[in-house]
Amino acid sequence: MSKSLSNHACKEKWFEDNCPICHEDIFTSSTPVKALPCGHLMHSPCFQDYTCNQYICPICSKSLGDMKVYFKMLDALLAEERMPEEYASRTQAILCNDCEKKGAARFHWLHHKCPNCGSYNTRLL
């Protein structure tokens, strides 16, 4: 375990699992391990490759880091976009993967902002 993990909370049998990317046993592996903010583990090289294209945990779907800059970029993008009149007042029921709360988001084909925490890491219900 990394010494930089300052607020570590021991979890029983934490290392008795497979890496969600390569499926190799984490406990017997000699490859360095990365602890994700959600508490799941992944090999460091697997994390490097995975985060080139993804920003959510492959197990629980929580964001892998501080996404505020990315979410502000989406806010700006969506502010410039006009929805067709028939969709302008519609909402969609969502579940936020980050705060785990349900809510209603303005209709969009791709992006749905959580009304509770501001995350775009959501799924439609």
AA letter at 95: L
**Cβ partners under 8 Å of residue 66, min gap 6:** none
Identify the pLDDT of residue 88: 86
Mean pLDDT of 76-104: 93
| Candidate ranges 13-17, 87-91, 101-105; pick with highest mean pLDDT | 101-105
Per DSSP, 97 falls in state T
Q: Is the pLDDT of residue 14 over 80?
A: no
Structural domains of the chain in order of their starting residue, each with its CATH number: 1-64 (3.30.40.10), 68-124 (2.20.28.10)
The neighbouring-strand residues paired with 92 are: 105
Residues ≥6 apart with Cβ < 8 Å to 57: 36, 38, 40, 63, 64
Indicate the pairing of strand 33-35 with strand 41-43. antiparallel
pLDDT in tens, 56-75: 999 999 999 999 999 999 99
Rounded Cα–Cα distance for residues 83 and 23 (Å): 42
* pLDDT attached to residue 7: 60
pLDDT confidence of residue 17 = 84
- pTM for the model stands at 0.77
| Residue 81 Cα distances to 13, 56, 77, 88, 100, angstroms | 48, 25, 7, 11, 27
